[in-house]
Amino acid sequence: TIEDTLNYATKTKTPLVIATTGFNDEELGKIKEASNIIPIFHSSNMSLGVNVLIKLVKEAAKALNKFDIEIIEKHHNKKLDAPSGTAVMIANGVKEVLPDSEYVYGRHGRSDKRNSNEIGIHAVRCGTIVGEHTTIFAGHDEVVEIKHTAQSKDIFAKGSIEAAKFLVKQEAGYYNMNNMLG
């Protein structure tokens, strides 16, 4: 469990890279609390490219704030959670820029028109797709898409190694990709 991992890491003063999703508020609180003792790097997605995508999406949301925004994520047919943690990270990035945004998961059963403050989030599960995330900004007569495709899971390991190299040079604290990427 995350509690066992945090207990071990704080007792041994071991810096910790956390690259998983699905923590509840209590668990997130314990992670933040442990970061007062040891350096902790936490990201729901360890891909350097995805984290740059989130920065780009935030910039686009600032500039295209009157556009409709939709997020489509695709993964393999064995993935359990929907939407993905990465799709939620992207949506949260938009919400930082446009705080009145409301998440709408899919459109099934809806019979009203789209509200201007919606962020549509859609999950596709099929085949062996490692991961694909597209953020669509659709305005009057123009569309901008920002997309990332993971072609193998190697990118997550590479990002985790880069995070560990970054983390061992840090003091106790809570770090993420924004800290590492500058």
Catalytic residues, which ones? 75, 79
Q: Could you give the CA distance from residue 89 to residue 142 in angstroms, rounded to a whole number?
A: 25
Q: Tell me the one-letter amino acid at 162.
A: E
Question: Hey, is 148 helix, strand or coil?
Answer: strand
Report which secondary-structure segment, H or E, holds 43: none
- The two tokens of residue 63 are 């500039």
- The two tokens of residue 92 are 């949260």
Question: Nearest-5° angle of CA 36, CA 161, CA 83?
Answer: 80
